[in-house]
Chain A
Amino acid sequence: DAGVTQSPTHLIKTRGQQVTLRCSPKSGHDTVSWYQQALGQGPQFIFQYYEEEERQRGNFPDRFSGHQFPNYSSELNVNALLLGDSALYLCASSLAGEETQYFGPGTRLLVL
C-alpha cells in the first residue's frame, strides 16, 4: 500500500516564475492538506481540499492556489514566485472525519 507520494522531489525556479507541485494521497484517503516548511521552522498550513473544494485556508496570499481531482490527488500552484517561497512543501492526506494525517516526503523548492 503506497503512502503519500509527492512530485517532484526537488525543484529550482527563478523569481517571477510559476510552479506546480503534485500530491497523491494514501490509498482510501479523500482529504489533502498542504504545508510550507521554511528552513528551521515548523510547517505552516496553506490549505486543505476535500471533495474537490478548498475547505480551509491558512494565512497565505492568493498567489498560492490548489486543485483536487476526482481521484483525490491534488496540485499546489504558486504564481509570481518570490525568494521567500523557497521551502519544503509538504502534502498530508487523511480520511474525512479522522484526525490522523499521513505526510509525504515533500518537495524542496528553491527560488533564485
Chain B
Amino acid sequence: KQEVTQIPAALSVPEGENLVLNCSFTDSAIYNLQWFRQDPGKGLTSLLLIQSSQREQTSGRLNASLDKSSGRSTLYIAASQPGDSATYLCAVRFGSYIPTFGRGTSLIVHP
C-alpha cells in the first residue's frame, strides 16, 4: 500500500528558528511531490511542487528537497515567523493523478 507519513505531528518553536519538516513515502516510483499549507478550518495553499526528476525547489524562505531513493522529502523553513503557524501537508502522486496526502505537521511559531 502506498502511504505518506509526516513526522513530527506537531511542532512548537520560538520565532527566528530554522526548522525542518519531514515527509516519507513507501514507493520510490513517484510522479511528483507537493507541499501545502493549511490554516485552521481553511483550504490548502500550494507552497512547492517537486517533479520526480528534480532534487529541490525554493521559494523565499522555503526550500523543499526530494530523495526518491530513500523515500523522503524535507521542507526547510528559514527564520520562522509567527505567521508561519499552520499545518503543513505533503502530497505524493504515485504515478497516477490521485495524490496521497500525509496527516500533516501542525506548526506553532511563538513570538
> What is A's interface to B at a CB cutoff of 8 Å?
4, 40-45, 48, 55-56, 58, 88, 90, 92, 99-106, 108
Do the beta carbons of B49 and A100 come within 8 Å of each other? yes
Judged by a CB distance under 8 angstroms, whether B42 is at the interface is yes
A58 CB contact (under 8 Å) in B44, B46, B98, B102: B98
Whole-angstrom CA separation of A56 from B99 in the bound complex: 11
Which listed residue (A48, A56, A100, A104) contacts B43, Cβ 8 A?
Answer: A104
11 of the cross-chain contacts (CB-CB < 8 Å) are A42-B101, A42-B104, A43-B89, A43-B91, A48-B97, A56-B96, A56-B98, A99-B32, A100-B49, A102-B46, A104-B43
B21-58 vs A, Cβ < 8 Å mask (1 yes, 0 no): 00000000000100010000111111001000000000
Give B residues with C-beta under 8 Å from A.
4, 32, 36, 41-46, 49, 89, 91, 96-99, 101-104
Task: Kindly state the separation between the CA atoms of A49 and B46 in the bound complex, as whole angstroms.
Answer: 20
Least distance between A7 CB and chain B CB atoms (Å): 13
Rounded to whole angstroms, the CA-CA distance of A55 and B97 in the bound complex is 10
Tell whether, in the assembled complex, residue A105 and residue B42 are in contact, meaning their CB atoms are under 8 Å apart: yes
- The main secondary structure of chain B at its interface with chain A is strand
Q: Find chain A residues with CB under 8 A from B101 CB.
A: 42-44
By a CB distance below 8 angstroms, the chain B residues around A44 are: 101
Max chain B C-beta neighbours (<10 A), residue from A42, A44, A55, A88? A42
Residues of B within 8 A of A106 (CB): 41-43
Decide: A42 near B91, CB < 8 A? Known: A104-B43, A108-B41: yes
Q: Cα distance A88–B44 when bound, in Å?
A: 12
Q: Collect the chain B residues with CB atoms within 8 Å of residue A100's CB.
A: 46, 49
Contact of A42 among B32, B41, B98, B102 (CB under 8 A): B102
B residues in contact with A101, CB < 8 Å: 46
Assembly CA distance A108 to B46 (angstroms)? 21
Q: How far is the CA of A44 from the CA of B99 in the complex (A)?
A: 8
Chain A residues in 8 Å Cβ range of B43 = 4, 90, 92, 103-106
Residue numbers in A under 8 Å from B103 (CB-CB): 40-42
Distance in Å from the Cβ of A95 to the closest Cβ of chain B?
A: 14
